[in-house]
Amino acid sequence: MSTELPRYEHYIAGEWVAPAEGGYFASTNPTTAQPWYEAARGTEADVDRAVRAARAAFEAASWRDLSQTARGRLLRRLGDLITENAEDLARTETLDNGKLLREMRSQLAGIPEYFYYYAGYADKIHGEVIPANSTKLLNYTQREPVGVVGAITPWNSPLMLTTAKIAPALAAGNTVVIKPSEHTSASVLKLVPLFEQAGFPPGVVNVVTGFGADAGNALVEHPQVAKLSFTGSTATGSRIAAACGSRFVPVTLELGGKSPNIVFDDADTDSAAMGIVAGIFAAAGQTCIAGSRVFLQRGVYDEVLEKVSARAATIKIGDPLEPETELGPVAFGDQRDKIEEYVRIGREEGGRVLTGGERPDVGLDGYFYSPTVFVDTDNGMRVCQEEIFGPVLTVMPFDTEEEVVALANDTTYGLAAGVWTRDLARAHRLASVLEAGTVWVNTYRAMSPMSPRSGFKQSGVGIEHGTEVLREYTRLKSVWINT
Ligand code: NAD
């Protein structure tokens, strides 16, 4: 019964706050299909309160006058606290979105590194003195925080994607209002006590939960939000870009993908097959960078396809908390329905399912879907053009480098690409002509806080990770002084 479920309120100005008018909504564990907690259903009134709290905290001496070194120390402490609480955070996210516990443990090992990395930048964000062709005038720049940052995140990697926003935003001296996905509020809410223990002043970090149309939209529309950072679907990103554009609010958008994974005849076929399987089936295909379109050069087509489909057919599906499980459920029922619909469309379009394409019987009530490999597909088909965000791979042959570059780039997206070859010159050529924010050669999914990530074309606007992101959370002022 929903009344017995644990219940979370919003976190605003350093306190847990009951929703003004929206009540609570239940969140479902995708492994059992049972609700397991309730979160506050945020509305405009809650968002307004949170943004005002964040603005007040931005102007308060406790944050504004805090030394940069001390700010870095808070972020470092937060990283340490996340490590100390890693197991609980990992389990929470597994219960919330069905990601494998062991995958979450490895994410939790990486997340503190983001806080340490940006902690190191807190005291290195500054302007410069410019000669300006004058001995009479002194011109210098200063790099300032922008104010209140609105951070809106999806359900597939709530902790990691929230970290990618708040670590640089806080390092630069901003305050934040986080709006997690309505499907996965729990792990981010579990960060709240850690923000407090780390010593962030009240109001510097706020969390408002709820649905996109209510809480999300209110955050996008709030006049005191100075910068919006969004990760989610291209459709929502487009709406947010339009809303922010009309008010000239800078916005970072990390959006969807339909990434190509290309194997040439000279590749190490074992590594390539492993990279293809990990590229699409990790997190049950629910990653923005999923290598969902595979192109195999004719000479290795049969061999690699056989390796990939054989592995896909033996992936152990089940409870994501169990150590031997290799594929958990997808995050919620509608998502599985959407995947099923795409598989139906793919078949209707003439694609042939080599393996998968069904709900497996794993003895659990959750939202499981088997790893699916489509052949006989054409890059123009909907299953090859639209983001399915599930464990569904399309495999297509090619003959020449020129041909595969055209096919790989024939998409509205441009998030990532994989290339498998032993030819170094070809690797460099491909890296420069593929229209994608990240290109991996003989590997897939590598990432680091130090390495920038961005989406080309309809995969996004702006940068996350690396040093460039600090520009996204600061504004540059030019000061002239007549000496
Ligand atoms: P989504 O766009 O449905 O929702 C994302 C977030 O936006 C949620 O918090 C949601 O509540 C909120 N939202 C929805 N409508 C809104 C509105 N009108 N105004 C303001 N906020 C609104 O996306 P999703 O289904 O949660 O996530 C999956 C998508 O995220 C996929 O397309 C995936 O590729 C993308 N993604 C991208 C990256 C990246 O780094 N590029 C990373 C992870 C996921």
Q: Bridge partners of 297?
A: 398
Output the 3-class SS for 185-240.
CHHHHCCHHHHHHHCCCCCCEEECCCCHHHHHHHHHHCCCEEEEEEECCHHHHHHH
Report the pLDDT value the prediction gives residue 3, as an integer from 0 to 100.
58
Which residue out of 153, 159, 181, 217 has the highest number of ligand 1 atoms within 8 Å of its CB and is therefore the one to mutate? 181
Q: Are 28 and 35 in contact (CB under 8 A)?
A: yes
Q: Are 8 and 185 in contact (CB under 8 A)?
A: yes
Distances, alpha carbon 365 to alpha carbons 60, 93, 322, in Å: 50, 19, 16
Nearest to 451 by CA among 434, 432, 464, 433: 464
Say what angle helices 158-171 and 86-97 make with each other, to 10 degrees.
130
Which residue out of 43, 184, 258, 288 has the highest number of ligand 1 atoms within 8 Å of its CB and is therefore the one to mutate? 288
Nearest-angstrom CA–CA distance, 233 and 241: 12
Which residue out of 43, 183, 231 has the highest number of ligand 1 atoms within 8 Å of its CB and is therefore the one to mutate? 231
**Residue 22 one-letter amino acid:** G
Which residue out of 27, 47, 156 has the highest number of ligand 1 atoms within 8 Å of its CB and is therefore the one to mutate? 156
Q: Whose CA is nearest to atom 39 of ligand 1?
A: 254
Nearest-angstrom CA–CA distance, 37 and 188: 14
Whole-structure pTM value: 0.97
Structure tokens at 25: 């909504």
Distance 376 CA to ligand 1 centre (A): 31
Nearest-angstrom CA–CA distance, 72 and 115: 9
Structure tokens at 164: 């990618």
Q: What is the pLDDT along the chain (483 residues), one digit of tens a residue?
A: 445 899 999 999 999 999 999 999 999 999 999 999 999 999 999 999 999 999 999 999 999 999 999 999 999 999 999 999 999 999 999 999 999 999 999 999 999 999 999 999 999 999 999 999 999 999 999 999 999 999 999 999 999 999 999 999 999 999 999 999 999 999 999 999 999 999 999 999 999 999 999 999 999 999 999 999 999 999 999 999 999 999 999 999 999 999 999 999 999 999 999 999 999 999 999 999 999 999 999 999 999 999 999 999 999 999 999 999 999 999 999 999 999 999 999 999 999 999 999 999 999 999 999 999 999 999 999 999 999 999 999 999 999 999 999 999 999 999 999 999 999 999 999 999 999 999 999 999 999 999 999 999 999 999 999 999 999 999 999 999 999
Query: From the alpha carbon of 157, which atom of ligand 1 is closest?
Result: 43
Distance 154 CA to ligand 1 centre (A): 4
Query: From the alpha carbon of 257, which atom of ligand 1 is closest?
Result: 34
Distance 254 CA to ligand 1 centre (A): 9
Degrees (nearest 5) of the Cα angle 354, 360, 361? Answer: 150
Report the pLDDT value the prediction gives residue 7, as an integer from 0 to 100.
97
Q: Whose CA is nearest to atom 12 of ligand 1?
A: 212
Q: Whose CA is nearest to atom 10 of ligand 1?
A: 212
Distance 133 CA to ligand 1 centre (A): 48
Q: Are 377 and 396 in contact (CB under 8 A)?
A: yes
Distance 78 CA to ligand 1 centre (A): 25
Q: Whose CA is nearest to atom 40 of ligand 1?
A: 254
SS3 2: helix
Query: How many CB atoms lie under 10 A from the CB of residue 91?
Result: 18
Query: From the alpha carbon of 154, which atom of ligand 1 is closest?
Result: 26
Sheet holding 460-461, edge to edge: 15-17, 10-12, 205-207, 175-179, 148-152, 225-231, 251-254, 460-461
Distance 406 CA to ligand 1 centre (A): 28
Structure tokens at 386: 């639209």
Looking at this predicted complex, what is its ipTM? 0.97
Query: From the alpha carbon of 233, which atom of ligand 1 is closest?
Result: 32
What residues line ligand 1, using a CB cutoff of 6 Å? 152-157, 161, 179, 181-182, 211-213, 216-217, 220, 231-233, 236, 239-240, 254-257, 288, 387, 389, 415, 455, 460
Distance 311 CA to ligand 1 centre (A): 30
Q: Whose CA is nearest to atom 15 of ligand 1?
A: 212
CA atoms within 13 A on the CB side of 441: 13
254 is catalytic: yes
Distance 90 CA to ligand 1 centre (A): 21
Query: From the alpha carbon of 288, which atom of ligand 1 is closest?
Result: 34
Q: Whose CA is nearest to atom 30 of ligand 1?
A: 232
Q: Whose CA is nearest to atom 14 of ligand 1?
A: 212
**Which residue in the list 93, 254, 464, 472 is annotated as catalytic?**
254
Distance 187 CA to ligand 1 centre (A): 17
Nearest-angstrom CA–CA distance, 148 and 173: 10
Which residue out of 236, 342, 411 has the highest number of ligand 1 atoms within 8 Å of its CB and is therefore the one to mutate? 236
